[in-house]
Structure 1
Amino acid sequence: MTPYRTIHRILLLGACALLASTATAAASAAGKELPPKPSVSDIVKASKPADWRALDPDNTLYMEMPWGRVVIELSPVFAPNHVKNIKALVRNHYFDGLAIVRVQDNWVVQWGDPNDENDKARPVKGAHKTLKAEFTVPLANDKHFVRLPDVDGYAPQVGHSDGFPVGRDPKTGETWIAHCYGSVAVARDNDADSGGGTGLYAVIGPARHLDRNLTVVGRVISGMPELAALPRGPMPMGFYEKPEQQVPIKSVKVAADVPAAERSKFEVMRTETATFQAVVDAQRNRGGPFTKFSAGHIDLCAVPIPVREQP
């Protein structure tokens, strides 16, 4: 046997032994039970009153639907002009009697005026039909950012600010709410400044590539299971084909305009607390007995932001 063949055979046997050893180690690791760790539920149950904040009634919307109430928290920090305009629309009863006009599978639920594109469009009455886009705002607007150490593909930095998942870019000095499940944003046409809040949508699927392309104004606090379970529209982009398929909106009100006894009493965990960081870590590094491999990583949109309703 030539020296070349001898060396080649030794290398091949060595590689096979390494692969076998790696496979054995992987199989052993796969079967090894991870030690138990506190779950998100455990941490939430052990939380203290100071870990929670009540929703601001002046920046909370109640959208009354046939099945009940959808609660939306608005963020004037990240979209001040649009939030102001949306509240003006609501207080002028713009959305009352309108409808959910499209549900696109794994994408969005959108509501507004079904006649928005024709001469029967509802007037906005004292609000603005369109506004200059607020895809991002200056970093100085945000005083509550807590960074996630995990790498993100859509922003140089990600984290949470007062209960909202956000991205930011220190080089450009910009920040924005991310398109995570439940985020509420302003529908528009191709023109960046063609939206104003008369059409809104909630995210029900992966949509992070929309970040910095649309104005995000808040997120759904309660009611996402019902919104996400609505029948999908049969037309392109999930639009409903017939008026009777559209889901009617009974009314939309600012919570501050609703008698205190009729308000929903939701609280959101403060995302700047050590308790919330424990929630993030519990989701990032799950323990046994069910989990056999802990990822050691978490995506921004996979971080649970606990919400609870007080009696």
Structure 2
Amino acid sequence: MSAFFTTPSMATGALALLALLATASVHAAPAKPAAQPLPPRPSLADVIKASGPSDWRALDPENTLYMELPTGRVILELAPAFAPATAANIRALVRERYFDGLFIIRSQEGFVVQWGDPDEDNPKPFKAAKTVKAEFTASIKDAGNFTRLKDGDVYAPQVGHANGFPAARDPASGRTWLTHCPAMVGVARDEGADTGNGSQLYVVIGHAPRQLDRNITVVGRVISGMALLSSQPRGTAASGFYDKPEQRMPIKAVRIAADLPEAERSRFEVMRTDSAAYQAAVDAQRNRGGPWTKVAAGKIDLCSAPIPVREQK
């Protein structure tokens, strides 16, 4: 048999505690007022509309690739300042029509879409270099202007943009590199660092896999046509590869813009990431105004910073 016993001293203490709680409730702090709505701020669309011609740059035709799919044109911009040998080898592959008739061979959910030759036993021959030395990083002094983001980063001492490409750098080592943000194009490779030559490429379609930075050569960015790649049916084999030939989308042709007549070129421009307009574009995303936004983030990560692109009709 058990019982609960209350001694006189315990009873006195209990009464004192009740009195203290009653006093505290009388003097409780008043409820905080509701948060005030955010004032309107310029949106990204407002910044783009207010920008001037000098805030934009045209694509370099020699470093612009058109990948023609049955569903439309995908436009890629190469970044030779970061991967000069790889970019040159890709141009060589394109000029010998290597990619014509090959396929999109992989679509992995939340990760990448990859294209190239699916036949490892009897691969399509090519004259371009079979081996290209890895270009995982580049010298800061060779990579051009760098506009640093003030928000910091998990993966690198500094991040920002270099001529329209998301980039990171380490001033202590003097090295810089392109980052695995969505729409960035990388060079598939085997285990060896120097086994990627540009004959198989991939584009990031999901959350930024930044752990791949400095482990794979990143060679450019998709400027237009991302929806044609990200909407590919997901592969059913390991790592999203297609295990049935009929699942692969054929590549009709890949061409360099400089090799086409003016009438066949697409006219796209990228906002200059060293311009005041671009800083306003980033801030419009960092500190979005009301009325829809209730809490402004006040921060932005590298892969969420917009890089506006527009087509000139």
TM-score, normalised relative to structure 2: 0.91
1:1-311 to structure 2, matched below 5 A, reads 24-25=31-32, 28-29=34-35, 32-115=36-119, 117-118=120-121, 120-125=122-127, 127-206=128-207, 207-311=209-313
- Partners of 1:287 and 1:65 in 2: CA distance: 39
Question: Would the alpha carbon gap of residues 286 and 122 (structure 1) be closer, same or farther in structure 2, given more than 3 Å must change?
Answer: same
Q: Which has the larger radius of gyration?
A: 2
- Partners of 2:86 and 2:294 in 1: CA distance: 46
- Equivalent AA in structure 2 for residue 210 of structure 1: L
3-state SS in 2 of match to 1:81: helix
3-state SS in 1 of match to 2:193: coil
Structure 2 residue runs of 5 or longer lacking an equivalent are 1-8
- Partners of 1:143 and 1:184 in 2: CA distance: 19
Task: Encode CA deviations 1:129-188: one digit per residue, 9 max, x unaligned.
Answer: 221111101111122100000021011100001100001011111101110010001000
Structure 1 residue runs of 5 or longer lacking an equivalent are none
- Partners of 2:227 and 2:124 in 1: CA distance: 29
- Equivalent AA in structure 2 for residue 68 of structure 1: G
Deviation at 1:10, TM superposition (A): 7.2
Task: Encode CA deviations 1:236-260: one digit per residue, 9 max, x unaligned.
Answer: 1000011111010001011100111
- Partners of 2:113 and 2:130 in 1: CA distance: 20
- Equivalent AA in structure 1 for residue 183 of structure 2: G
Q: Which residue of the partner structure matches residue 5 of structure 2?
A: none
Task: Encode CA deviations 1:49-86: one digit per residue, 9 max, x unaligned.
Answer: 11111000000000000011100000000100100000
3-state SS in 1 of match to 2:34: helix
- Partners of 1:256 and 1:38 in 2: CA distance: 37
Task: Encode CA deviations 1:259-309: one digit per residue, 9 max, x unaligned.
Answer: 111100000000000000000000000000000000100010001100000
- Partners of 1:50 and 1:87 in 2: CA distance: 29
Deviation at 1:203, TM superposition (A): 0.2
**What is the alpha-carbon root mean square deviation over aligned residues?**
2.3
- Equivalent AA in structure 1 for residue 34 of structure 2: S
Q: Which residue of the partner structure matches residue 6 of structure 2?
A: none
The ranges of structure 1 where at least 4 consecutive aligned residues each deviate by more than 3 angstroms after the TM superposition are: 4-7
Deviation at 1:96, TM superposition (A): 0.5
Does the CA-based 8 Å contact 1:78-1:177 persist in structure 2? yes
- Partners of 2:20 and 2:142 in 1: CA distance: 64
- Partners of 1:138 and 1:172 in 2: CA distance: 9
Does the CA-based 8 Å contact 2:72-2:228 persist in structure 1? no
Q: Which residue of the partner structure matches residue 3 of structure 2?
A: none
- Equivalent AA in structure 2 for residue 249 of structure 1: I
- Partners of 2:100 and 2:144 in 1: CA distance: 35
Task: Encode CA deviations 1:206-231: one digit per residue, 9 max, x unaligned.
Answer: 21111111000000000001111110
